[in-house]
Structure 1
Amino acid sequence: MKIRWTHWAEYAALRTASGLLARLPHRAALALAWGPARAVFALAGSLRKRTRRRLRQALGEGVSGRDLDRIAWTAFRNLVFTAVEGARCPGIRRSRADRHMTLEAVEEIHEELSRGRGFIVAVPHMGNWELAGVALHAQGVELMVLARRQRNPLVNAWIYRLRAGAGVEAVDTKTRAIAEVARKLREERKVLALLPDVRARSRGVPVTFLGVPTEVPGGVAHYAREAGVPVFTAEVVRTGWMAHGWRKTGRIDSDPALPEAEDRRRIMQYVMDRFTESVRSNPENYFWFNKKWVLGKETGV
């Protein structure tokens, strides 16, 4: 792709912002972002209304309007904080990740890897999953993620470098490297992290999520069957401003005796059931702001 001046301008702006944020103490960087985030949320009436509809659709009529507003703002603030922490990624060292991220089930992770194979970890769009990746790498976990190429080639290359520096292998879904994922799971003890709580563009797997029928991508089930590895479900939760926790919430194995379509539905429904539990327990941590809402048209008011 030809690099245009707009690519250079965007890249320079991002690198400058990242460098400035990385120089600030963690809490100071978040405090700097809090004010603009509050102003944007207060002025964005359509965003607030859409988020409230989605919360009502997912959480039901038992939640008061006041609580919906509180959850919506906290979720937006957490999203901004996660973006700030992502921009500060070059400044996040292992010691800092260890200090702010609590990992559960570490022994179980190592026990699974000791069998000479990797596994899949499915997480919802909650909390700072990139920081969780840094913390897991510090525990000896070699992570893979599937990545779509950014339109700006300079930004794309920078993101790949950041992830590589954090010990995460980003696999471009548009290259031949995608064909190696199953082998690396089987033979190299890699751990594939996937976030499947998005609306499938085509050929999705029918599931019920947050009480609503929808269709999600079936990559989790596909690689579980192809590589013969288990699926762990997990959640990442922010508490307050700077404390994070990673927790395993479940496990499921593929069943080669079942027809593929049936097994894919079984696996994906299990995953989405665990996600429903996580989201309803910690709605302030969920990403309610995707333009292409996973549940389709919002029905709540």
Structure 2
Amino acid sequence: MSAQERLTDALYGAGWSTVKKLPEPVAARLGRTVADLTWKRRGQGVLRLERNYARVVPGASPERLAALSRAGMRSYLRYWMESFRLPAWSRDRIAAGVTVKDLHHLTEAMDAGKGAVVALPHLANWDLAGAWLTTELGIPFTTVAERLKPETLYDRFVAYREGLGMEVLPHTGGAAFGTLARRLRAGGLVCLVADRDLSASGVEVEFFGEPARMPGGPALLAQQTGAALLPVTLWYDDSPVMRGRVHPPVGVPESGSRREKASVMTQALADAFATGIAEHPEDWHMLQRLWLADLGPAKGTS
């Protein structure tokens, strides 16, 4: 393990061990302070965030983009402060922290017994949404996590999410898709963050007027298992509450090859994601390259 990897692991470990002990107002202030300091440094992540926002808010002035990126970093640090504290939150605190519109799309799909695939973009706090599902609604689910370096950091994230009631599978290794399909055929729930492709086999979509790639897995799982495919978008408002919306199910086209159907379905996901992101751009935590025009030889890097 390199010195940088040891430092990264130690910082995340300190976050989970220390921040969760802070009073909530103190943690919130700490998050805003760190966000503002990071924003003022104008590092690669902040600059990339502004470039991404320029696609979401076309014609925005430099001043508007700067204000958006500052709000975006505050939202991003709110995500981290909440995530560090989530293991110490009570069931009542989790329940009070989330409200979701059109939840009937999910409950009806689960009641039908065919399972459901929930696909989300990097909006607000998807971990909090998952904790709310498992604790408040009593719906366990399976998800996939990108393998991080060092391995100890990946293990921390797995332990954290499993502690919130999630089953976590590694993104790499080839076995995740089959396990997810089995969970769905048993009537289970699968939740996947799906606005950025991490493989070489992503589906090309039109996203805010430009081509990008998104994972085809959610659509392929829904096709193969008969599970409902549900886009979900999240956002923060000025209160401590995170809000969300379950969008109507994405149907499977009647004709076309498996890949062609997946393309149509993934485009429908991208359209739903774009709706939520356009309404709350500051809560979209995309600090990496996404659009094909921005991707160089090192695909997916900042």
Q: TM-score over 0.5 for the alignment?
A: yes
Which position in structure 2 is the counterpart of 1:265? 263
Distance in 2 (CA, whole Å) between partners of 1:170 and 1:47 is: 27
Counterpart for residue 248 of structure 1: 246
Q: Distance in 1 between matches of 2:227 and 2:284?
A: 27
Number of aligned positions between the proteins: 293
Distance 1:47 1:7, change over 3 A: closer
Amino acid in the other structure paired with 1:20:
T
* Equivalent in the alignment of 2:132: 135
Q: Which runs of 5+ in 1 are unaligned?
A: none
Stretches of structure 2 that go unaligned for 5 or more consecutive residues are 296-302
Aligned match of 1:117: 114
The equivalences for 1:191-202 within 5 A come to 191-199=189-197, 201-202=199-200
**Mean Cα deviation higher: 88-97 or 22-31:** 88-97
Change (3 A) 1:46 1:217: closer
Which of the residues 141, 144, 154 maps onto 1:156? Answer: 154
More deviation in 29-38 or 64-73? 64-73
**Who is 1:71 aligned against?**
68
Question: Is this contact kept in 1: 2:213–2:290, CA < 8 A?
Answer: no
**8 Å Cα contact 1:79/1:287 also seen in 2:** yes
- Once the two structures are superposed, residues 19-71 of structure 1 have per-residue CA deviations (whole angstroms, 9 ceiling, x without a partner) of 2211112221020222232122112265544433322233211x343322221
Q: TM-score normalised to the size of structure 2? A: 0.88
1:118–1:229 Cα contact (<8 Å) kept: yes
Does residue 207 in structure 1 map to residue 205 in structure 2?
yes
Q: 1:158 to 1:267 in 2, by over 3 A?
A: same
CA positional deviation for 1:252: 1.0
CA–CA distance in 2 between the matches of 1:24 and 1:200? 35
Alpha-carbon shift at residue 207 of structure 1 (Å): 1.1
How far apart, in 2, do the equivalents of 1:127 and 1:58 lie? 16
- Distance, in Å, in 2 between the alignment partners of 1:15 and 1:49 is 27
> Is this contact kept in 2: 1:123–1:196, CA < 8 A?
yes
Matched AA of 2:287: F
1:42 — aligned with what? 40
Contact residue 94 and residue 134 of structure 1 kept, 8 A = no
Contact kept in structure 2, 1:146 and 1:172, CA below 8 Å: yes
Shift of 1:10: 5.1
Residue type at the aligned position of 1:182: A
Instruction: Say yes or no: does 1:28 pair with 2:31.
Output: no
Mapping 1:30-109, distance limit 5 Å? 30-44=28-42, 47-61=45-59, 63-109=60-106
Query: Alpha-carbon deviations, 1:117-168, whole Å to 9, x = none?
Result: 2111111110001000001112022221112223233332232222112111
Give the whole-Å Cα distance in 1 for the aligned partners of 2:49 and 2:154: 29
CA distance in 2, matches of 1:45, 1:174: 29
Residues 205, 94 of structure 1: CA spacing in aligned structure 2 closer, same or farther, 3 A cutoff?
same
Match for residue 221 of structure 1? 219
Structure 1 residues 240 and 207: alpha-carbon distance in aligned structure 2, compared to 1, 3 A threshold: same
Shift of 1:297: 2.1
What RMSD, in angstroms, separates the aligned Cα atoms of the two structures?
2.4
Structure 1 residue 174 displacement after superposition: 3.4
The answer to whether the 8 Å contact 1:172/1:178 transfers is: no
Match of 1:183 in 2: 182
Partner Cα separation in structure 2 for residue 209 and residue 6 of structure 1: 35
1:34 is matched by which residue type in structure 2? Answer: R
**Cα 1:122/1:293, change in 2 over 3 Å:** same
CA distance in 2, matches of 1:247, 1:293: 23
The 1:257–1:125 alpha-carbon spacing in structure 2 relative to 1, beyond 3 Å, is: same
Q: CA deviation at 1:209?
A: 0.6
Tell me the CA shift for residue 97 of structure 1: 1.2
SS of 2:18's equivalent in the other structure is helix
TM-score normalised according to structure 1 size: 0.88
Structure 1 position 170, deviation (Å): 0.5
